[in-house]
Amino acid sequence: MQAFWSSVSFRIALVYGALIVVTLAVISGIFYYGTVVGPANAMDQKLVVSEQRLSRHFLGNGLPALRSEVGQLLADGIDQDTEVYLLLDPAGHKLAGNLDRWPAPADLGFDTLTTEQVLRYGKPSLSRLVWHRLPDGAVLAVGNDTHYQQAVEKLVWRSLLIGGGTALLLAIAGALLFRRQIGRSIGRIRRTAMEIQAGDLSRRIPVGSTRDEFALLSHDINAMLDRIEHLMDGVRHVSNTIAHNLRTPLARIRSRLDEMLRQGTGAGTADAVHSAIQEIDSLTMIFEKLLQIAEAESGARRQSFEVTPLAAVVADVTELYDAMADTCDTRLVSEVRGGPHVLGDKDLLCEALANLVENSIKYAGRSSAISISAAEEDGRMVLTVEDRGPGIPADFLGRVTQRFYRGNTEVPGSGLGLSIVTAIAQLHRGSLQLQSLNPGLRARIVLPRPAGEAANPADSIL
Amino acid sequence: MQCLVIEDEAQTAAYVRKGLEEHGHRVTLCADGEAGLRLIRDRAWDIIVLDRMLPDDIDGLSLLKALRDGGGQTPVLVLSALGSLDERVRGLRSGGDDYLTKPFALAELLARIEALTRRYQPGAEVRELKVADLSMDLVKRKVTRAGRPVLLQPREFRLLEYLVRHQGQVVTRSMLLEAVWDIHFSPGTNVVDVQISRLRSKVDGGFTPSLLHTIRGVGFMLRDPA
């Protein structure tokens, strides 16, 4: 129910439906009043007037005169099929009138209008009657058979019901149609947004030839995306230009130094040249890593993602580093529980895991064990590297992923490793989580399940 | 070997030419795609070194595609300042056999060129590889030296196999990472050196002569010094 209520289109449809119901009620009320209530009241009025006139006739001319008056009214052919007259003597016997059966006068309320079942000209009739007790005890009744009114009332009710029912069904159908229409339009926008999020900046919202509000919104968003893509292209162009323009001079310097070496120089110069070459190489590496982080953050790599079993990532990285761990007298223990897999890039995932393992080997100290594992936890896929070395002090945990931050400057490193791991984790829509184990560090790369295994969010209920 | 170098940057071109000529190869330079295509059509080459960013209309990758579409099988090593994995994959998919980013060490270039040209020599399916008194049975996955068995883990066997297949050639760290471990990033630490050390202790430890050499600043080589 919560889901329904939070849906805008449902709320609009509900309000729209309520308005229809109210309008219908008002119209029906007016109509009913005009066709049923009004005429009934007018009829009542007429009866009272008629009764009063006959009473005055009695007062003026006596009971026999009234009797013959009643007889005349019944015989005059006016209102023959609806009029009701009844004159009773003080003892309750019928003196004149067209009723054959009537409610006992003792049960009657006088001078009030009631609707009774009576026998009129021998036939049953539901009649509207007013009873009056004349001064000498005689009873006069004036009334009207209501079968016309009943017929009209029945007709009105039936039409209101049918009309109302139809209107309600149309309202519901309209609301559902409205919801579907909105859902489709919004769904189109959301789907395109998801494709763009996944890394394909070239997508645009498909727009038909209509000029409605959604079409205008889509046009605006598409224009915005054009601008963004243009900017991204600019950035990419700059990156590529930087790559070309910075690497080329670096290449030239390196090649000159290389030449010097090969041409043969004194030992001292050779050493200097070697270290200069090393500096250039490490500069190049830093530069590569920065570009890589930028590329990861742009999300463009997502387009070439494939389903990657994490067991392979763990196995490859563990194998690569086992010799190095041996030299530090450290053991690498790997464990894979189940068959965790993600949608991603195997090379990048290996690189991220390798960075974590390298850090542990570098900082965890000798004679220890480093655990490398992959498993599914709470519906997410997790790569974990755990060591029992000195770890990272809790207040520094937030800073270690900053670029160039070095916690321990005695050990060689660029300070970019964890930045790369974070960028790669985020590219895979996951995150890097660091925990101090006191002693030690647990680094976890937490990644979502492959998208195909959950419902497509763009198609959920609006 | 006849090498065709298609590179528009004069300094890099000269650098490459010098390095290759010093190694006994014959080098022809050209500076744009059109001239390159003509030279490819007119003569047979053992190896083509191709820069991706070429001036005018024909860039490196389209030249490469034209070569492959025309049935040319000459090994091509692609040079580029564009180093992302994406670009690497593009270069290889367009028909390149290897991809090297600038800046590069000449030794790396030479090592990879030699590796590429070796690959193209026709030869029967080999089931045994030998260097000096080291022998590798590729079917049984067993190694012996001077008649004594050398126990290797599967990955170590692959590492040794690669070195033996490229015996006498320089093999760089990145070549090993790609070929033996299928790793396409550069680890920050000297993992490969450590792996080689461990292999060396098993293969050369207690035997003479030493077969596994480290070439400073470049890589490694397995060679019978005799």
Encode pLDDT of A231-284 as tens digits: 877 777 777 667 667 777 787 788 788 878 777 767 777 788 888 888 888 787
Cβ A244–B15 below 8 Å, yes or no? no
pLDDT score recorded for residue A457:
44
pLDDT score recorded for residue A459:
42
Q: Is B146 left (phi over 0), alpha (psi -120 to 50) or beta?
A: left
pLDDT score recorded for residue A456:
38
> Is pLDDT of A436 > 80?
yes
pLDDT score recorded for residue A462:
39
Q: Which residues contact A399 (CB under 8 A, 6 or more apart)?
A: A405
pLDDT score recorded for residue B156:
92
State the pLDDT confidence band at A357, using cuts at 50, 70 and 90.
very high
Residues of chain A in contact with residue B183, where contact means CB-CB under 8 angstroms, are 316, 320, 347, 350, 354
Q: Which residues contact A263 (CB under 8 A, 6 or more apart)?
A: none
Please tell me the distance from the alpha carbon of residue B219 to that of residue A365, in angstroms, as a whole number.
28
Q: Which residues contact A425 (CB under 8 A, 6 or more apart)?
A: A352, A431, A432, A445, A446, A447
Mean pLDDT computed over every residue of chain A: 83
Q: Which residues contact B123 (CB under 8 A, 6 or more apart)?
A: none
Q: Which residues contact B17 (CB under 8 A, 6 or more apart)?
A: B5, B27, B29
Q: How much of chain B, in percent, has pLDDT values that exceed 70?
A: 95
Closest CA to B133 of B80, B204, B57: B204
Minimal Cβ distance to B81: which of A243, A304, A320: A243
- Give the residue from chain B lying closest to A290, CA to CA: B84
Task: Mark out chain B residues that contact chain A at CB-CB < 8 A.
Answer: 9, 11-12, 15, 18, 22, 53, 81-86, 89, 101-107, 155, 181-191, 194-195, 197-198, 216-217
Task: Report CA-CA distances (Å) from A161 to A18, A30, A292, B12.
Answer: 17, 15, 71, 91
Cβ B185–A347 below 8 Å, yes or no? yes
Task: Report CA-CA distances (Å) from A117 to A81, A97, A102, A144, A386.
Answer: 16, 16, 8, 12, 95
pLDDT score recorded for residue A186:
86
State the pLDDT confidence band at B116, using cuts at 50, 70 and 90.
confident
Q: Is A444 left (phi over 0), alpha (psi -120 to 50) or beta?
A: beta
Please tell me the distance from the alpha carbon of residue B53 to that of residue B12, in angstroms, as a whole number.
13
- What residue has token string 């005890």? A137
Containing A355, the helix (H) or strand (E) segment is helix A346-363
Q: Are strands B2-6 and A123-133 parallel, antiparallel or unpaired?
A: unpaired
Mutate to test the interface with B, among A245, A248, A255 (most CBs of B within 10 A): A255
pLDDT score recorded for residue A106:
67
pTM of the complete model beyond 0.80:
no
pLDDT score recorded for residue A310:
93
Residue with the larger pLDDT of the pair A167 and B171: B171
pLDDT score recorded for residue A321:
92
Q: Is A327 on the interface with B (CB under 8 A)?
A: yes
pLDDT score recorded for residue A107:
73
Q: Which residues contact A113 (CB under 8 A, 6 or more apart)?
A: A44, A47, A48, A128, A129, A130
Q: How much of chain A, in percent, has pLDDT values that exceed 90?
A: 18
Q: How much of chain A, in percent, has pLDDT values that exceed 70?
A: 93
Mean pLDDT over A141-167 rounds to 87
Instruction: Lowest mean pLDDT of A185-199, A258-272, A401-415, B50-64, name the range.
Output: A401-415
- Give the residue from chain A lying closest to B109, CA to CA: A255
Minimal Cβ distance to B194: which of A254, A327, A345: A327
Longest dimension (CA), chain B: 61
Mean pLDDT computed over every residue of chain B: 86
pLDDT score recorded for residue A458:
46
Residue with the larger pLDDT of the pair A407 and B62: B62
pLDDT score recorded for residue B124:
56
Q: Is A350 on the interface with B (CB under 8 A)?
A: yes
Mean pLDDT over A331-346 rounds to 91
pLDDT score recorded for residue A313:
93
Encode pLDDT of A3-20 as tens digits: 555 677 777 777 877 888
- The ipTM value here is 0.73
Encode pLDDT of A293-315 as tens digits: 777 777 767 777 888 999 999 99
Cβ B198–A323 below 8 Å, yes or no? yes
Please give the structure tokens belonging to residue B175. 């070549």
Closest CA to A348 of A385, A398, A297, A386: A297
Encode pLDDT of B127-157 as tens digits: 888 888 899 998 888 999 988 899 999 899 9
Q: Is A2 left (phi over 0), alpha (psi -120 to 50) or beta?
A: alpha
Cβ B191–A320 below 8 Å, yes or no? yes
- Give the residue from chain B lying closest to A236, CA to CA: B82
Residues of chain A in contact with residue B54, where contact means CB-CB under 8 angstroms, are none
Please tell me the distance from the alpha carbon of residue A134 to that of residue A60, in angstroms, as a whole number.
12
- What residue has token string 């067209």? A98
CA distance B188 to chain A (A): 8
> Is pLDDT of B77 > 50?
yes
Residue B157 Cα to chain centre, angstroms = 19
Residues of chain B in contact with residue A362, where contact means CB-CB under 8 angstroms, are 189
